[in-house]
């Protein structure tokens, strides 16, 4: 490679084999199953290694998570990778980080790579924060002297001074990611690979991360950054690649990539398709979402007018008595910016106990509140600070036409902004002009 090219990917592809088991009506005693398992364990392993169906009727499909992706990166460049979930972003980063081998193509990297692909990558839960800093640094190829020189700076950045000698298995997710990011960013790798780390942590930490990544790039090092936060991609990245279904659709300046992503943004499914999305949600012993609806004038629709109320309807079941359960939605701009969030029990002064049963929760967005534009509703359900009942938010595109009382005297004038509320104004005449 030429001196200023640090990464060259040529025709990268990654193929996975997916097995589908045929339905069977056979039943057997426990002892029969154990005996059969003992006899055929080695045969199963061999068959799986060859990607072969184990029993009659089973089928095997090939899935390309990445297909024919080529690009180059120069030293000191900040490259964003964007796309929907399942587009191949994380697969690409795993190949770049040498975690997995490509099925096709080749990649050439000149320099030491530090990867932060998930919270606490490379950490051992039984070791303390102090020990994990040295362990992670060693994994990244740093000498003990290098780690010692950066140690205090890492601890201050991660804000874990009081827990430095506590096993990291007792850290909160926020502490985990602060320390993981601090280690990866401070130990002077030539290439820093980051996958959606800014999705975790509070606002101040995210600002620190952005500042540190800008500093890393300004120091001549190379950064690859995956994020669903389009404003951050615009702010941080010189260039971005837009992936869809494993293929590269756009490679150019970050503004152009984000615009291309938004133009082809199809994550907001129609209401007819939502039922299939809901049916495919993982089964949960506590919570089941049955239906989501958007209603205006007693009709289900995602094409609404601004001058009338809009109801967001949740139909769900709860199977166990639980505290802190809430269903909610966020209203987002199409670039992923969250405009506001609303919880079904947001007015409560304490966490409520929800008993088993079927529930219908309805939120009303008032008339003359939204501007005439497209939005995205993201539907969620969770137990407060414990876990999400819907692992990935369900997205609904909401198309709003300006047709209300706001500025109605000014024909054709919609006004700027994402909201268009009717505020209370008062005008008094205090003097007459002669």
- Interval 229-240 mean pLDDT: 83
H/E stretch holding 361 reads strand 357-365
Whether the per-residue pLDDT at 85 is higher than 80: the answer is no
Token pair 């975790």 in the structure block, residue: 200
- All structural domains of the chain, each given as residue ranges with its CATH number in brackets, are 65-263 (3.40.50.300), 271-401 (2.70.50.60)
* 3 state DSSP class of 325: strand
pLDDT band at residue 306 under the 50/70/90 scheme: confident
Q: What is the 3-state secondary structure of 250-282?
A: EEEEHHHHHHHHHHCCCCCCCHHHHHHHHHCCC
- pLDDT at residue number 197: 60
pLDDT, greater one: 337 or 315: 315
The partner residues of 369 in beta bridges, in order of sequence, read none
pLDDT, greater one: 36 or 280: 280
Distance from C-alpha of 63 to C-alpha of 95, rounded to nearest angstrom:
16
Let me know: does 236 contact 210? Beta carbons within 8 Å.
Answer: yes
Indicate the average pLDDT of the chain. 81
Whether the per-residue pLDDT at 271 is higher than 80: the answer is no
pLDDT band at residue 409 under the 50/70/90 scheme: low
Whether the per-residue pLDDT at 201 is higher than 60: the answer is no
Q: Tell me the backbone φ, ψ of residue 89, rounded to 5 degrees.
A: -65, -55
pLDDT > 70 in the chain, percent: 82
Q: Which range is most confident: 184-188, 269-273, 343-347, 355-359?
A: 355-359
Nearest residue to 224 via CA among 384, 382, 109, 54: 109
Whether the per-residue pLDDT at 147 is higher than 60: the answer is yes
- pLDDT at residue number 287: 96
- Interval 239-265 mean pLDDT: 87
- pLDDT at residue number 40: 55
- pLDDT at residue number 319: 96
pLDDT tens digits along 21-39: 555 444 444 555 555 555 5
Let me know: does 290 contact 283? Beta carbons within 8 Å.
Answer: no
User: For the ranges 47-56, 341-350, 369-378, which has the lowest average pLDDT?
Assistant: 47-56
pLDDT, greater one: 56 or 287: 287
Whether the per-residue pLDDT at 42 is higher than 50: the answer is no
Whether the per-residue pLDDT at 285 is higher than 70: the answer is yes
- pLDDT at residue number 395: 87
pLDDT tens digits along 92-124: 988 988 888 999 999 999 887 877 776 556 688
Whether the per-residue pLDDT at 44 is higher than 80: the answer is no
- Interval 78-84 mean pLDDT: 88
Q: Is 0.95 topped by the overall pTM?
A: no
- Tally the residues of the chain: 434
């Amino acid at each position: 490679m030429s001196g200023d090219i640090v990464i060259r990917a040529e025709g990268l592809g990654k193929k996975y084999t997916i097995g589908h088991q045929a339905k069977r009506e056979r039943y057997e005693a426990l002892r029969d199953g154990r005996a059969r398992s003992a006899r055929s364990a080695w045969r199963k392993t061999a068959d799986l290694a060859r990607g072969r169906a184990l029993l009659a009727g089973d089928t095997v499909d090939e899935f390309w998570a990445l297909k024919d992706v080529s690009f180059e990166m120069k030293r000191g460049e900040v490259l964003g990778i964007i796309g929907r979930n399942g587009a191949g972003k994380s697969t690409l980063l795993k190949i770049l980080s040498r975690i997995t081998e490509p099925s096709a193509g080749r990649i050439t990297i000149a320099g030491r790579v530090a990867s932060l692909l998930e919270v606490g990558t490379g950490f051992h839960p039984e070791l303390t924060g102090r020990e994990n800093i040295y362990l992670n640094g060693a994994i990244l190829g740093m000498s003990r002297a290098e780690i010692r020189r950066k140690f205090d700076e890492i601890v201050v950045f991660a804000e874990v001074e009081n827990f430095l000698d506590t096993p990291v298995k007792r850290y909160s997710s926020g502490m985990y990611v602060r320390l993981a990011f601090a280690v990866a960013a401070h130990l002077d790798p030539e290439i820093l690979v980051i996958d959606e780390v800014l999705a975790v942590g509070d606002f101040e930490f995210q600002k620190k991360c952005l500042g540190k990544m800008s500093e890393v790039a300004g120091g001549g090092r190379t950064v690859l950054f995956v994020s669903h936060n389009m404003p951050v991609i615009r702010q941080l990245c010189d260039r971005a690649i837009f992936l869809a279904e494993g293929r590269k659709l756009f490679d150019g300046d970050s503004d152009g990539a984000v615009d291309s992503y938004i133009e082809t943004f199809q994550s907001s499914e129609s209401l007819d398709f939502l039922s299939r999305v809901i049916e495919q949600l993982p089964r949960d012993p506590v919570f089941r979402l049955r239906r989501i609806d958007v209603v205006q004038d007693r009709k289900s629709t995602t094409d609404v007018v601004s001058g009338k109320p809009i109801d967001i309807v949740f139909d769900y079941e709860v199977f166990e008595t639980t505290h802190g359960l809430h269903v909610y939605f966020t209203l987002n701009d199409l670039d992923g910016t969250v405009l506001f969030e609303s919880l079904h029990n947001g007015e409560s002064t304490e966490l409520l106990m929800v008993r088993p049963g079927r529930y219908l929760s309805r939120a009303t967005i008032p008339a003359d509140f939204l501007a005439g534009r497209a939005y995205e509703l993201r539907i969620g359900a969770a137990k407060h600070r414990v876990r999400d009942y819907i692992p990935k938010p369900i997205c609904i595109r909401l198309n709003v036409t300006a047709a209300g009382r706001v500025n109605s005297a000014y024909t054709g004038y919609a006004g700027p902004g994402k909201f268009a509320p009717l505020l209370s104004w008062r005008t008094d005449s205090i003097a007459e002009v002669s």
